Amino acid sequence: MDLWPVVSLARLVVVAIAAALGVYLSTWLLRSLMRGVDLWQELSRGNMAMAAVLAGVILAVAAVMHPV
C-alpha cells in the first residue's frame, strides 16, 4: 500500500490548522494593539479602512505561511 495519500492528507490537515491558528493569533494581536477600536463593530458598519487593515494582516500571515 502506498502511503503517499495518507501523508499528503496529514500534511494538509496540519497546515490548515497552523494557518487557522496563525490568522486567529494575528487578529487577536491586532485587536489587542487597537484597544480603543472595536474591530468587528467597525467592519459591520462598513468601515473599509479597517477591512483593509484586517485584510493586510491576513495576507501578511499568508505570505509568511506560504513556504510551509
- Cα angle: 59, vertex 34, 64; to 5 degrees: 20
Question: What is the distance of C-alpha 62 from the center of its chain?
Answer: 7
Output the pLDDT for position 68: 62
Note if the pTM is more than 0.85: no
Low-confidence ranges of the chain (pLDDT < 50): none
Q: Which residues contact 51 (CB under 8 A, 6 or more apart)?
A: 43
- Which residue do the cell numbers 501523508 mark? 7
38-53 residue pLDDT tens: 989 999 999 999 999 9
